Amino acid sequence: MTNTTPENNQSPAVTVSGLSKRFGRVRAVDDVTLNIPAGGVYGLLGPNGSGKTTLLSMLAGFLNPTAGAITLLGETGAAGQRAALRHVGALIERPTFWPYLSCRDNLRCLQGIYASHGGDDEIEELLDTVNLDGDAATRKFRACSTGMKQRLGIAATLLGNPSLLILDEPTNGLDPSGIVEVRELIRDLAAADSTRNGQPRTIILASHLLNEVEQVCDCVGVMARGKLLYSGPVSGMGTTSSNGRVHIRTTDDDQAANLLSEAGWELLDQSEDGLNVAATPGREWEITRDLANAGIYVAELRPTVGSLEAGFMAVTGESGGENE
Amino acid sequence: MTNINPVIVALRWEWFRLSRRVGFWAIVGILGLFVVGALAIAVGMRFVPAVGETMPAYGFPHVVFDVLSTLAPFLGVILAGFIFGGEFGWGTWRASLARGMPASRLILLKILLGAVVLVVIWIVAWCLAALVGLVAGENGAEGIIQQSPGFPEGWGDAGLKFASAWPVAVAYLALGTLLCVIGRSTAFGVGVGIGLIVAETIGYRLLGLLAGLIWDIELVDYLRWTLQGVSSGLLGNDEPKAIVFLPALLAYAGLFCWVTLAIFSRRDLDS
């Protein structure tokens, strides 16, 4: 398992160690160890049944781990996790509210239960933030569209301005403009500090949309078959699929291709744009040396960064098709 | 708001949700019909049929609580269904417990709400009956007391009748809670709960037969009266006084709560 996170002076928002969850004979989450740095957006990717939602449910305190330990916002143990959960907003699987209450009353109820002190101003601000103000606020939850329910779910996670947000596919059911709005909201929320000791807010975002993760997240974790296969910067996912691949443009690509082949370099492909050559990182200079010695000059040489999709496929071992 | 105890605040919002359920008010309305019906019959007859004398003022609460005592087990179970069961169907346990509130606190809060609602219903019914009694009843009724030992001897006994019916309802509220949690549904909790009440009545009759024919010992008597929910035990002729069973009822309520918490805390919180 790869577990690389960016350099960060602050203690991680979430640390899990050897975390497992079994449902009968099924290992939904299998010995996951993970650090999620404080601040920023951490994406969680994985195919259906990979264990993402189970992992998030354990972080949110909904599921009891079979084994392993969770440190949430620096708090450990059952009592510690419960204390930390006061500063955690979670929307997992689907938004759940009392169907006979209006959107506004649902939020007021939860505000009372969570002992959030924002009062009516907080409710109105949140309704406005998720575009549920006006008539939508007075609509009964059971009469809301899927998108409205999802928006209300996001609003509920923001009650009390929590330090950690756990969002499980928050753009599900939203129309394209709604998806864009929610992504912008997530970025804005990540940029703002939480009320808890002025700490930066951390957002964990599980999504099946690779471009969403690419656009919104700073770091990403990839799960498959209950295991965490990769954890690190989003950009690192691309290089995972392109290790040892260099793109070259020269003054004479045909001659360069012949020369490099004769010199023992593996020519991967050639097009009008240039050559792709297999080269382990750190040996790129040898290519320029060989070409220069033959009187061929390099116009461009760069490691090829693969797409997140390609990286995802490489990490999960998927041969193709839709991921979740 | 910051100075108010979080438990009181949470209790307030529990009540807010319960009070917005049409079904809850329908149950209260039906109960009200029973109370008013019992009072109407008492006023219409204005005498105790067994001895043919006029009903004293304190007899009216007695009559009303005869009805309420019979309904108390059903009321307790149905109220539990309203307070607890919906949370499973809607998946709102997750919403309520998302910020680290202990499940034990939330469950006890809900049972407390049910107990408070029952107290309010009891007080309203008792006050209404007492008011009607003061208007329509007689001041004294020595003859009735002498000829009908089961009849209350004064306002104190009428108050005791009130005090006995409430723990019955609370015990069944706790039982209904347990059943809802076991079955994770309102339908299961209320359905099985009402089934158990019926089974208890049958069991009471069977134990009565055993007590009369075979054992005739106090333990069997105790069991059968407890089984019946002491619905008519208080101030009965040869029946044990219900006050004897109050500790047993409260112990039942405590046991049901404890088992409910044990089951709930061990379980995952499914959506």
ipTM confidence: 0.80
- The dihedral sign for the CA sequence A256, A262, A266, A270: positive
Q: Who contacts B115 (Cβ-Cβ below 8 Å, separation ≥6)?
A: B170, B173
Q: Which residue of B has its CA nearest to A152?
A: B95
For residue A110, the chain B residues in CB contact (below 8 A) are 95-96
Decide which of A49 and A58 is more confident.
A58
Q: Who contacts A135 (Cβ-Cβ below 8 Å, separation ≥6)?
A: none
Contact A83 B269 (CB under 8 A): no
pLDDT at A4: 41
Question: pLDDT band at residue A307, thresholds of 50, 70 and 90?
Answer: low
Segments of chain A assigned E as strands: 14-23, 26-36, 40-45, 67-72, 75-76, 88-91, 164-168, 202-206, 219-224, 227-233, 245-250, 266-271, 274-278, 298-303
For residue B94, the chain A residues in CB contact (below 8 A) are 62, 92, 96
Contact B10 A112 (CB under 8 A): yes
In angstroms, what separates the C-alpha of B126 from chain A's closest C-alpha?
32
pLDDT in tens, A159-185: 988 999 999 998 887 888 888 888 888
N-to-C CA span, chain B: 31
Is the pTM higher than 0.95? The answer reads no
Query: Which residues of chain A are at the B interface, by a Cβ-Cβ cutoff of 8 Å?
Result: 57, 60-64, 81-86, 88-90, 92-94, 96-101, 105, 108-110, 112-115, 117, 119, 156, 160
Average pLDDT along chain B: 77
Structural tokens at position A50: 């990979």
Measured between CB atoms, which of B13, B99, B100 is closest to A109? B13
| Contact in structure between A313 and A260 (CB atoms under 8 Å) | no
In angstroms, what separates the C-alpha of A97 from chain B's closest C-alpha?
6
Residue A241, pLDDT above cutoff 60: no
Measured between CB atoms, which of A82, A90, A113 is closest to B102? A82
In angstroms, what separates the C-alpha of B90 from chain A's closest C-alpha?
6
Residue B3, pLDDT above cutoff 60: no
Q: Which of A212-221, B160-169, B177-186, B228-237 has the lowest mean pLDDT?
A: B228-237
Q: Which residue, chain included where needed, has tokens 């040396």? A: A289
For residue B100, the chain A residues in CB contact (below 8 A) are 61, 81-86, 88
Question: pLDDT band at residue A134, thresholds of 50, 70 and 90?
Answer: confident
Structural tokens at position A208: 């099946």
pLDDT at B227: 54
| Contact in structure between B169 and B76 (CB atoms under 8 Å) | yes
Top residue of B94, B104, B263, B269 to mutate, by most chain A CBs within 10 Å, is: B94
Pairing relation of β-strands A274-278 and B47-48? unpaired
| Contact in structure between A13 and A37 (CB atoms under 8 Å) | yes
In angstroms, what separates the C-alpha of B271 from chain A's closest C-alpha?
8
| Contact in structure between B46 and B55 (CB atoms under 8 Å) | yes
Decide which of B270 and A78 is more confident.
A78
* DSSP annotation string for B106-171: HHHHHHHHHHHHHHHHHHHHHHHHHHHHHHHSBS--HHHHHH-TTS--SHHHHHHHHHHHHHHHHH
Contact B91 A94 (CB under 8 A): yes
Contact A108 B12 (CB under 8 A): no
Contact B268 A109 (CB under 8 A): no
Between CA A7 and CA A16 the distance in angstroms is 18
CB proximity B262 to A under 8 Å? no
pLDDT at B174: 92
In angstroms, what separates the C-alpha of A35 from chain B's closest C-alpha?
22
Top residue of B13, B82, B99 to mutate, by most chain A CBs within 10 Å, is: B99
pLDDT at B216: 52
Between CA B75 and CA B173 the distance in angstroms is 8
- The dihedral sign for the CA sequence A81, A82, A88, A91: positive
State the amino acid at position A218 in one-letter form. D
| Contact in structure between A199 and A229 (CB atoms under 8 Å) | no
pLDDT at A321: 38
pLDDT at B153: 67
Contact A62 B94 (CB under 8 A): yes
Decide which of B207 and A45 is more confident.
A45
Does residue A16 sit in helix, strand or coil? strand
Q: Which residue, chain included where needed, has tokens 């209950």? A: A226
In angstroms, what separates the C-alpha of A267 from chain B's closest C-alpha?
53
Q: Judging by beta carbons within 10 Å of its beta carbon (0-12, 13-18, 19+), is residue B142 exposed, middle or buried?
A: exposed
**CA neighbor of B73 nearest in space, from B161, B142, B169, B144:** B169
Measured between CB atoms, which of B9, B21, B90 is closest to A112? B9
pLDDT at B235: 36
Does residue A15 sit in helix, strand or coil? strand
In angstroms, what separates the C-alpha of A316 from chain B's closest C-alpha?
28
Residue B232, pLDDT above cutoff 60: no
Average pLDDT along chain A: 85
The phi, psi pair for A87, rounded to 5°, reads -110, 20
